[in-house]
Amino acid sequence: MLTINPESKSEWVERAAELLCAAARTAPKGRGRDLLVTAVVSGVELGRMADTMRMIAERDQVGFFARDAGNLALASALVLIGTRMEPLGLPHCGYCGFADCAAMQAAGATCAFATGDLGIAVGSAVSRAADLRLDNRVMYSAGKAAIEMGLLGEGVRIAYAIPLSVSGKSPFFDRG
């Protein structure tokens, strides 16, 4: 059997996306509490995300959402990493800007540890993408669209997306 350009198969990129999710999952977390939610998006669902991003671009007058939606058309798969907003209950913390977790929750704010853990997980995931030499980029815009679509569940209020591609030149680099 002969397979020409096997790296361009979308199944391979989807499998690699699962490895990025594993890297995110094993990243260190505050107080050892895992609040992460990960997902791999491909096919029709990836197109729905791009459509949602275009709608957001028009509705809220944020043009880069439309540009980023165009990038999704060039991706074989996308990794979503989000965090649930459950307070960790750390004594004498206040990193969120409030006196304690109860005050933070009453204000509808976000736990600094949850967002910090999310950032570390995203860093671990893109590090794995680099190990695999995958074209990738961290996108807040696609993560925001996923939140609006409810893809990661009700408790997830912050997410980032990492579109993946295997190509001769990264479609996520020169974006204009």
* Closest to 38 (Cα-Cα) out of 156, 166, 148, 171: 156
Predicted local confidence at residue 132, as pLDDT: 95
Mean pLDDT of 145-168: 95
Interval 2-23: pLDDT, tens = 677 776 678 889 999 999 999 9
User: What is the separation, in whole angstroms, between the first and last Cα of the chain?
Assistant: 42
Which DSSP string corresponds to 90-134? Answer: -TT--TTSSSSHHHHHHHT---HHHHHHHHHHHHHHHHHHHHTT-
The pLDDT of 98-109, averaged and rounded, is: 93
- Would you say residue 29 has pLDDT above 70? yes
State both tokens at 91.
């004594």
- Angle 62-63-66 (CA atoms, 0-180°, nearest 5)? 110
Q: What domains, with CATH codes, occur in the chain?
A: 9-164 (3.40.109.10)
- State the average pLDDT for the chain: 93
- pLDDT-derived band at 167, boundaries 50, 70, 90: confident
Specify whether the CB–CB gap between 161 and 125 falls below 8 A.
Answer: no
Position 8 scores a pLDDT of 66
Structure tokens at 102: 């109860």
pLDDT at 169: 87
